[in-house]
Amino acid sequence: MGDNDCFLIFDVSDPSTPKKINSLEMDVEAFAIKDNYAYIPNCDRELAVVDLTIPNRAHKVLEVYIGNCSRDICINGNYAYIANLYDGLIVVDISDPRDAKEAGRSIDSDTYVRYTAVAVKDNYAFLAKDGESIAILEISPKGDSL
């Protein structure tokens, strides 16, 4: 869980008494977890990749520059889809978490729109625009294009 200044890690083996076991100082806007890695986009213009293999020794293994502030993330297959506040959709290939790379982006020319949330279903990405409308983008099954 994050509180914007820290990524907090809890042991929830007993859900009635979760215990904080680690924290990492970083800007946290959202996060998604796949396998033993957390993917954390933020307003520091990066996607942080955190190794959670040993939760009490979790550590950042990579920062991928994505530009501007990012508000949300979802993972589908080997790709992280990020709602970048002013740039739209950014796709990052996470097939190798320690060597994640940007795979594509769709930039909206409307500089007054803020993208705040993202979801992916089948070959479509859905981006919330200022909480008032959505953008629907067709994406390829392999993430090769937007």
pLDDT per residue over 11-35, tens digit each? 999 999 999 999 999 989 899 999 9
134 lies in a domain? yes
Evaluate if pTM is beyond 0.75. Answer: yes
The residues that bridge with 136 in the sheet, in sequence order, are: 126
Count the domains in the chain: 1
In a domain, 11, yes or no: yes
Examine residue 144 and state whether it is found in any structural domain, yes or no: no
CA dist 67 → 13, 90, 91, 110 (Å): 37, 10, 12, 17
Distance of CA 128 to the CA centre of its chain: 15
Report whether pLDDT(144) > 70.
no
List the domain range (segments joined by +) for residue 79: 6-138
What's the CATH number where 133 sits?
A: 2.130.10.10
Span 75-130, pLDDT tens digits: 999 999 999 888 889 999 999 999 999 999 887 666 567 889 999 999 999 999 88
Q: Name the β-bridge partners of 72.
A: 83
pLDDT confidence of residue 86: 81
Which amino acid, one-letter code, is at 24?
L
